[in-house]
Structure 1
Amino acid sequence: MRQKVISLFLIMMDMVIVAAAPFIALFLRFEGAVEQNYYSLFLSFLPGIILLRLLTFYAFGLYHRLWRYASISELLAIISAVSISSLFITIYMYATGANIPRSIPFLNWIIVILLIGGSRLCIRVLHFIRTNNNRQDTRTLIVGAGDAGAMIAREIGQRYYDTKKLVGFIDDDTYKVKRSLFGATVLGNRQDIECIVNKYQVNEIIIAIPSLKGAELRAIVQVCKLTGCKVKTVPGIYELIDGKVTLQQLRDVDLEDLLRREPVNLDLDQIASYIRGKRVLVTGAGGSIGSELCRQLTKLEPSQLILLGKGENSIYEIDRELREKHGNLKLEPIIADVRDASRINQLFDRFRPQVVFHAAAHKHVPLMEAQPEEAVRNNVFGTKNVAEAACRTDTEMFIMISTDKAVNPTSVMGATKRVAELIVQSMNGKGRTRFSAVRFGNVLGSRGSVIPLFRRQIAKGGPITITHPEMKRYFMTIPEATQLVLQAGSMAQGGEVFVLDMGEPVKIVDMARDLIELSGLVPGKDVEIKYTGLRPGEKLFEELLTAEEGTSSTRHEKIYVANLKLVNEKRLQEALTVLQTGVHTGDKVVHIIEEIVPSYRLTRANVSREISRQKECNISFSAVECLTVTEG
Structure 2
Amino acid sequence: MSDRAASPEVPRPVLWRWIQFVLDAGAWTMAILVAVVLRYELTEQTMAPGGVGIFCLMAIACQALVGFSMALYQGRHSFGSFEEARLLVAVTLIVATILVLLSTFLGFTLQIPRSTGVIAFPFAALFMAATRYAKRMFVESKQKPGDNAQQALVYGAGFLGTNLVTRMMQDPASPYYPAGFVDDDPAKKHLRVSSVQVLGTGEDLPDLIRRTRATVLILAFTAADSDFIRGVSDRVAGLGVKVLVLPPLKDMFGGDGARSVTDFREVAVEDLIGRRPVDIEVESIAGYITGKRVLVTGAGGSIGSELCRQINPFQPAELIMVDHDETALQATQISLTGRGLLTGRDTVLASIRDAENLLAVFDERRPEVVFHAAALKHAPLLQQYPAEAWKTNVLGTLNVLRAAQRSGVEAFVNISTDKAAAPTTVLGHSKRLAERLTAWMARETGRRYVSVRFGNVMGSRGSMLPLFSEQIRKGGPVTVTHPEITRYFMTIPEACQLVIQAGAIGSGGEVLILDMGEPVRILDVAERMISMSGKDIEIVYTGLRPAEKLHEDLVDSDAGDVRPFHPKISHTSVSGATPRELDYERWLMECERTEDAMHEAQVLEETERSHEDALGPGAP
Matches within 5 A, 1:57-206: 126=138, 128-132=140-144, 135-146=147-158, 148-149=160-161, 152-153=164-165, 155-159=167-171, 162-179=174-191, 184-206=196-218
Per the TM alignment, residue 5 of structure 1 is displaced from its structure 2 partner at its CA by 5.5
Per the TM alignment, residue 574 of structure 1 is displaced from its structure 2 partner at its CA by 0.6
User: Contact conserved, 1:139 with 1:201, CA < 8 A, in 2?
Assistant: yes
Higher alpha-carbon deviation: 171-180 or 391-400: 171-180
Per the TM alignment, residue 611 of structure 1 is displaced from its structure 2 partner at its CA by 6.7
Aligned mate of 1:295, from 296, 309, 321: 309
SS of 2:451's equivalent in the other structure is strand
Per the TM alignment, residue 420 of structure 1 is displaced from its structure 2 partner at its CA by 0.8
- Which residue pairs with 2:580 in the alignment? 574
Query: Does residue 377 of the first structure (1) align with residue 387 of the second (2)?
Result: no
Higher alpha-carbon deviation: 409-418 or 315-324: 315-324
Query: Does residue 536 of the first structure (1) align with residue 527 of the second (2)?
Result: no
User: Contact conserved, 1:79 with 1:113, CA < 8 A, in 2?
Assistant: no
Per the TM alignment, residue 225 of structure 1 is displaced from its structure 2 partner at its CA by 2.2
SS of 1:546's equivalent in the other structure is coil
Alignment deviations for residues 549-608 of structure 1 (CA, whole Å, 9 cap, x no partner):
1311233222111243x425xxx22123xx4xxxxxxxxx3x33258xx6x464223124
Query: Does residue 464 of the first structure (1) align with residue 474 of the second (2)?
Result: no
Distance 1:604 1:431 in 2: 35
Alignment deviations for residues 297-344 of structure 1 (CA, whole Å, 9 cap, x no partner):
34545454333322222222232223359xxxx993333322233443
Alignment deviations for residues 61-96 of structure 1 (CA, whole Å, 9 cap, x no partner):
99xx9x9xx7869x78x989x99xx9xxxxxxxxxx
User: Contact conserved, 1:488 with 1:559, CA < 8 A, in 2?
Assistant: no
SS of 1:295's equivalent in the other structure is helix
Per the TM alignment, residue 166 of structure 1 is displaced from its structure 2 partner at its CA by 2.1
SS of 1:553's equivalent in the other structure is coil
Cα gap change, 1:252 to 1:277, in 2 (>3 Å) = same
Q: Which amino acid aligns with 2:598?
A: V
Aligned mate of 2:558, from 548, 565, 568: 548
Matches within 5 A, 1:159-558: 159=171, 162-179=174-191, 184-235=196-247, 242=254, 246=260, 249-324=263-338, 332-431=346-445, 433-522=447-536, 527-558=537-568
Higher alpha-carbon deviation: 300-309 or 361-370: 300-309
Cα gap change, 1:296 to 1:209, in 2 (>3 Å) = farther
Higher alpha-carbon deviation: 452-461 or 499-508: 452-461
Q: Which amino acid aligns with 1:603?
A: T
Cα gap change, 1:111 to 1:273, in 2 (>3 Å) = farther
- Which residue pairs with 1:562 in the alignment? 572
Cα gap change, 1:228 to 1:460, in 2 (>3 Å) = closer
User: Contact conserved, 1:281 with 1:356, CA < 8 A, in 2?
Assistant: yes
Cα gap change, 1:503 to 1:140, in 2 (>3 Å) = same
Cα gap change, 1:415 to 1:133, in 2 (>3 Å) = closer
Higher alpha-carbon deviation: 540-549 or 194-203: 194-203
Q: Which amino acid aligns with 2:587?
A: I
SS of 2:433's equivalent in the other structure is helix
Q: Identical aligned pairs, as a percentage?
A: 35
SS of 2:470's equivalent in the other structure is helix
TM-score by length of 1: 0.73
User: Contact conserved, 1:357 with 1:399, CA < 8 A, in 2?
Assistant: yes
Cα gap change, 1:345 to 1:183, in 2 (>3 Å) = farther
Number of aligned positions between the proteins: 569
Cα gap change, 1:157 to 1:282, in 2 (>3 Å) = farther
Per the TM alignment, residue 370 of structure 1 is displaced from its structure 2 partner at its CA by 2.4
Cα gap change, 1:548 to 1:13, in 2 (>3 Å) = closer
Q: Which amino acid aligns with 1:234?
A: L
User: Contact conserved, 2:487 with 2:519, CA < 8 A, in 1?
Assistant: yes
Q: Which amino acid aligns with 2:499?
A: V
- Which residue pairs with 1:105 in the alignment? none
SS of 1:426's equivalent in the other structure is helix
Distance 2:10 2:304 in 1: 51
- Which residue pairs with 1:592 in the alignment? 586
Alignment deviations for residues 378-419 of structure 1 (CA, whole Å, 9 cap, x no partner):
212222232333333333322121101112222222111111
Q: Which amino acid aligns with 2:225?
A: K
TM-score by length of 2: 0.74
- Which residue pairs with 1:90 in the alignment? none
Q: Which amino acid aligns with 1:437?
A: S
Cα gap change, 1:366 to 1:239, in 2 (>3 Å) = farther
Q: Which amino acid aligns with 1:575?
A: E
SS of 1:480's equivalent in the other structure is helix
SS of 1:390's equivalent in the other structure is helix
Higher alpha-carbon deviation: 459-468 or 130-139: 130-139
Distance 2:159 2:368 in 1: 39
Cα gap change, 1:217 to 1:313, in 2 (>3 Å) = same
User: Contact conserved, 1:21 with 1:111, CA < 8 A, in 2?
Assistant: no
Q: Which amino acid aligns with 2:576?
A: V
Cα gap change, 1:148 to 1:22, in 2 (>3 Å) = closer
- Which residue pairs with 2:106 in the alignment? none
Any stretches of 5+ residues in structure 2 without a counterpart? 37-47, 95-121, 611-620
Flag the structure with more relative contact order, 1 or 2, with Cα contacts below 8 A and sequence separation at least 6: 1
User: Contact conserved, 1:217 with 1:258, CA < 8 A, in 2?
Assistant: yes
SS of 1:497's equivalent in the other structure is strand
Alignment deviations for residues 504-523 of structure 1 (CA, whole Å, 9 cap, x no partner):
2222222222222222134x
Distance 2:428 2:185 in 1: 47
- Which residue pairs with 2:102 in the alignment? none
